[in-house]
Structure 1
Amino acid sequence: MDIVGISYLGFESTKIDEWRDYGPSVMGFAIADSPEDDTESLYFKFDDRRHRLAFHSGQVDRIAYIGWEARGRLEFLDAIARFEAAGVAVEHGNAAQAARRGVRELIRFKDPVGYQHELFYGQKYTPKSFIPPRPHTGFNTDGRSMGHVVLITPHYTDELEHFLTHVMGLRFYGSGAGKGKTSFFRAKLNNKTSHDIAYGHGPGMRGIQHVGLFVNSISDVGQTYDIVKKRQLPMMFTLGQHTQDPSMSFYHFTPSGFAIETIYEIETWNPDEVELNPERLSIWGHEMVGPVLGPSVKKLEEWGEVG
């Protein structure tokens, strides 16, 4: 499939009021206009796309959907045919759903471990419309879409890997250097970053572990780091550089209990021709100062069903 990457994420949240302050003042997100039929939800933008993150009121803080971008309409139609040939249940979004997401057309489907995904083409945008609400040089989404997401699944199966690589056409990047089973994948058309999505095996657990967002300046990392420390927000990892990426980052926890990794590329990432197998998670820094799995990763009985 000709997939560019992940373009938007949707969440259910019990803490929308907290996000309304946290998004602009900590992360530098701009509050986007909500669709006319969804004024109770909170939408954020951090580039010129209509939105990148959406928070909908819910009883449990959890990820609700992951929005993948197809390069165009023909690629979108080819993807539908590929899903159907593979026996994947596909729900065709109606006009109201497409308007709410700000896209031309979309389909919805679930992966083999139960996470809800969407595939679309033609997301709305307005040039030069992102104005940071605090000093910030902006987020680097050029060619890599919005960033990456790491999910925890109670069952890590061969069926999951087959779905991601043979059906969705993602490239397997490697399993990292951390403990346990975590595998990283990137979209076919993404040659700007190492991974778009990763799945970690957490027996009896489900949820989003972290979201990775790239910023345009090392100062953006430092200023966000200072705001996090000044507000005494909980962190997962301090500043550091992963072994497999030429990037500097740190991780802190959001109001919804998952972490955001704020990332600056020290050097341009070059696509690797081999699967990476690093001995260490990071070459410097990234001192673990909090739990690896935050409150967003829950026991199955706490998770519930997402429509």
Structure 2
Amino acid sequence: MGIKALGYVVIRSTQPEAWDQFMIQTVGAMRGSDAPEGVDFYRVDDRPFRFWVERGASDELLAAAYEIDNAQNYADLKTQIANLGRPVEDGSAAEAKARGVGEFFRTTDPAGNGLEFFLGDSRDNVEFVSEVGVSGFVTGDMGMGHAVFNAPNFEEVHEFYKAIGFRNTDIPRISLSGQPDDPGMGIAFMHADNGRHHSVAIIEMPVPPSRCVHLMLEMKTQSDVGKCYDRMRINKVPESASIGRHVNDQTFGFYMQTPGGFDLEIGADPLVIDPQTWEATAHQQPSEWGHVWAWQKALEEQQGEKA
């Protein structure tokens, strides 16, 4: 269906001031301009915004928005999603203009995760300048990064994403307990029509109130990642996983908790695939090294206290 890349995300928040502190002082993004009333824009490149944070009565990811390559594929995708029994709601002309796109529609996957698909995108000549000195983020043809969703009805959700044009990159079943009788949980890492290892992923877990597992941004250097890791600690942002390197996409990075309750992965130096020739893998180990999760640390501390 011609899905190019993840273009932007739409977030609702009860604490926009916390998001501003997080995005500017910890992540190192840049404030955007000309946002609608009640909305804050944050940019990481030459797009007017990648993060849309709107004030509201809940803290959740409302949508991950993906760009479609042409008008015919856009129309075909709308039809395909409707035929799959999912709702399709066209955005108004005013909403499209605010998003910097030609047109878009809203839908949800079978687990209720929010999605937008759009045609026509915006770029400008505003220089990206980070107040905390981030040299830059890797976007371009690979989009802003990736989004990971929960999917308790894993097989149904996986079939939905395959039907609309995402393709499998890595499809493991991973056991967190390590016990031989643990069937593990299904995970599907899926790529769009670009070199990023995955632009969307789903995990066989209940959907949380935040409606997201994590988002990912790629920085230009490992040094930028390390400095962000320090800012996380200095700004007392909760660490979700320590620095490490993944097996499947080779990303060097870490995870921290956003004000929205879901995580943000900050990484560098990932594997770049050929989306036309890639054959799906099934890595059973998440990380080569590192990535000690907060829940693992808490469990180790409890075990230490009992010893």
TM-score after normalising by structure 1: 0.86
In 1, the alpha carbon distance for the partners of 2:161 and 2:148 equals: 14
- Match status 1:3 vs 2:3: yes
Q: Is the alpha carbon distance of 1:277 and 1:23 closer, same or farther for their aligned partners in structure 2, counting shifts above 3 Å?
A: same
In 1, the alpha carbon distance for the partners of 2:173 and 2:197 equals: 11
Report how far residue 128 of structure 1 moved.
Answer: 4.7
Q: Is the alpha carbon distance of 1:2 and 1:28 closer, same or farther for their aligned partners in structure 2, counting shifts above 3 Å?
A: same
In 2, the alpha carbon distance for the partners of 1:267 and 1:82 equals: 31
Matching residue's letter, 2:155? D
Matching residue's letter, 1:220? D
Report how far residue 283 of structure 1 moved.
Answer: 0.9
Report how far residue 86 of structure 1 moved.
Answer: 4.1
- Match status 1:198 vs 2:205: no
What does the per-residue CA deviation read over 1:37-92, in whole Å, with 9 as the maximum and x for residues that have no partner? x2221111101011111111122211111211011333322322333444543212
- Match status 1:279 vs 2:284: yes
Matching residue's letter, 1:252? M
Matching residue's letter, 2:15? K
3-state secondary structure, aligned to 1:208: coil
Instruction: State the Cα RMSD in Å.
Output: 2.2
In 1, the alpha carbon distance for the partners of 2:197 and 2:120 equals: 24
Q: Residues 10 and 65 of structure 1 are in contact (CA less than 8 Å); yes or no, is this contact kept in structure 2?
A: yes
3-state secondary structure, aligned to 2:141: coil
What does the per-residue CA deviation read over 1:206-237, in whole Å, with 9 as the maximum and x for residues that have no partner? 52121111011111101101111222321111
What does the per-residue CA deviation read over 1:77-127, in whole Å, with 9 as the maximum and x for residues that have no partner? 232233344454321221111112110011111211112211111121103
The aligned residue for residue 74 of structure 1 is 72
In terms of mean alpha carbon deviation, does 276-285 or 178-187 score higher?
Answer: 178-187
Report how far residue 282 of structure 1 moved.
Answer: 0.9
Q: Is the alpha carbon distance of 1:137 and 1:161 closer, same or farther for their aligned partners in structure 2, counting shifts above 3 Å?
A: same
The aligned residue for residue 299 of structure 1 is none
Report how far residue 148 of structure 1 moved.
Answer: 0.8
Identity across matched positions, percent: 26
Q: Is the alpha carbon distance of 1:75 and 1:204 closer, same or farther for their aligned partners in structure 2, counting shifts above 3 Å?
A: closer
- Match status 1:42 vs 2:40: yes
Q: Residues 30 and 128 of structure 2 are in contact (CA less than 8 Å); yes or no, is this contact kept in structure 1?
A: yes
The aligned residue for residue 50 of structure 2 is 52
Matching residue's letter, 2:197? S
Q: Is the alpha carbon distance of 1:91 and 1:266 closer, same or farther for their aligned partners in structure 2, counting shifts above 3 Å?
A: closer
What does the per-residue CA deviation read over 1:102-159, in whole Å, with 9 as the maximum and x for residues that have no partner? 1001111121111221111112110353222221111101221011111223x32433
In 2, the alpha carbon distance for the partners of 1:89 and 1:256 equals: 25
- Match status 1:143 vs 2:125: no
Report how far residue 277 of structure 1 moved.
Answer: 2.2
The aligned residue for residue 185 of structure 2 is 181
- Which of 129, 153, 165 pairs up with 1:169? 165
Q: Is the alpha carbon distance of 1:287 and 1:85 closer, same or farther for their aligned partners in structure 2, counting shifts above 3 Å?
A: closer
Report how far residue 20 of structure 1 moved.
Answer: 1.5
Matches within 5 A, 1:1-307: 1-35=1-35, 38-153=36-151, 155-166=152-163, 168-173=164-169, 174-175=171-172, 177=174, 179=176, 180-190=184-194, 192-203=195-206, 205=208, 207-265=211-269, 268-269=272-273, 273-290=278-295
In 1, the alpha carbon distance for the partners of 2:258 and 2:285 equals: 26
3-state secondary structure, aligned to 2:53: strand
Matching residue's letter, 2:32? A
Unaligned runs of 5+ in 1: 293-307
Q: Is the alpha carbon distance of 1:17 and 1:152 closer, same or farther for their aligned partners in structure 2, counting shifts above 3 Å?
A: same
3-state secondary structure, aligned to 2:81: helix
Q: Is the alpha carbon distance of 1:177 and 1:158 closer, same or farther for their aligned partners in structure 2, counting shifts above 3 Å?
A: closer
In 2, the alpha carbon distance for the partners of 1:158 and 1:181 equals: 11
In 2, the alpha carbon distance for the partners of 1:196 and 1:267 equals: 13
Q: Is the alpha carbon distance of 1:119 and 1:267 closer, same or farther for their aligned partners in structure 2, counting shifts above 3 Å?
A: closer
Q: Residues 2 and 75 of structure 1 are in contact (CA less than 8 Å); yes or no, is this contact kept in structure 2?
A: yes
Matching residue's letter, 2:48? R
Unaligned runs of 5+ in 2: 177-183, 298-307
Q: Residues 4 and 187 of structure 1 are in contact (CA less than 8 Å); yes or no, is this contact kept in structure 2?
A: no
Matching residue's letter, 1:276? T
Q: Is the alpha carbon distance of 1:196 and 1:71 closer, same or farther for their aligned partners in structure 2, counting shifts above 3 Å?
A: same
